[in-house]
Amino acid sequence: MTTGVVDTGTVLDRILKQTASDLIARKAGLPASELERVVTDDPRTPLSLERAIDRDHVAVIAEIKRGSPSRGMFPVEIDPSRVAQDYCAGGAAAISCLTDGPFFHGSQADLELVAHVAHSVSPPVPVLRKDFMIDRYQLLEARAWGADVVLLIVAALDDGLLRSLYDSANELGLSVLVEVHTEAEMERALRLDPAVVGVNNRDLHTFVVDLGVTERLSTMVPDETLLVSESGIFTHEQVSRLGSCGAAAVLVGESLIVQHDRAAAVRALAGTTRPGRG
């Protein structure tokens, strides 16, 4: 396995091993130097996730994905451009797009389509490349494909690689969502002094979901750091519950993607006032 990647066992370990294998093929097909050139020639300044979600109400980061290891393929047709349009119309503060193919059925094409739409609306909406980042090459891909934000999963990375990828993302102008699930991971994440930290309510080893994880870990988050609660969020009441413990935003995937009226579904989750902000 790639140096610096934590051997976690179970599904996460299989995903990381596949990611490392796929990277070898992609690097052979397109050298990092070519991606560096694309990024250097791109005049666009990536959008800030921090600014996008720092609102008076709990912001919604709406996710586009076709399926997951725990749920399989979702029983809906997904046109990434149309979904992005719906999410923006519903008031999503940011859009997350899965690009992992083997386990989540995402792709580079999905991200590029979503970014084109999200950056064309007024005001433009930042796009998160949701994937298992283990190499700077993936950060270059994200930037070249139109992403504004990348995800770093603390459970998947040792401290050295976590810091290296975090610093590299910042150098490329990308925002970072640093994801944790335990107290120990939160302590490691906060050493980066991140602008935004995400708490995944889903245990990536067992896939068990518990919103209480956000409530528990929220007490560790400094006032200057924005908290995002991820996974297992389906109702406005749950958003209110998470907002009451300090979440600035919620990242929601499955409960939005399967809706017939996705714009209305985003609106239904939004609107919860953040304590002390409104």
Range 182-201 average pLDDT = 98
Q: What is the DSSP letter of 59?
A: E
Asked whether the predicted pLDDT for residue 69 surpasses 80, the reply is: no
CATH number assigned to the domain with residue range 10-42+55-269, chosen from the 4 options 1.10.3720.10, 3.20.20.70, 3.40.50.1820, 3.40.50.11900: 3.20.20.70
CA distance 132 to 37: 23
By three-state DSSP, how is residue 251 classified?
strand
Asked whether the predicted pLDDT for residue 155 surpasses 60, the reply is: yes
Reference 227, options 54, 20, 38, 40; nearest CA is 54
Contacts of 8 (CB under 8 A, 6+ apart): 16, 155, 156, 204, 205
Q: What local confidence, expressed as pLDDT, does residue 68 receive?
A: 76
Q: What local confidence, expressed as pLDDT, does residue 71 receive?
A: 73
pTM above 0.85, yes or no: yes
Q: What local confidence, expressed as pLDDT, does residue 206 receive?
A: 79
Asked whether the predicted pLDDT for residue 170 surpasses 80, the reply is: yes
Enumerate the domain spans of the chain: 10-42+55-269
Asked whether the predicted pLDDT for residue 8 surpasses 60, the reply is: no
Question: pLDDT of 80-113, one tens digit each?
Answer: 999 999 999 999 999 999 999 999 999 999 999 9
Q: Which residues of 2-18 are buried (b: 16+ CB within 10 A; e: fewer)?
A: eebbbebeebbbebbee
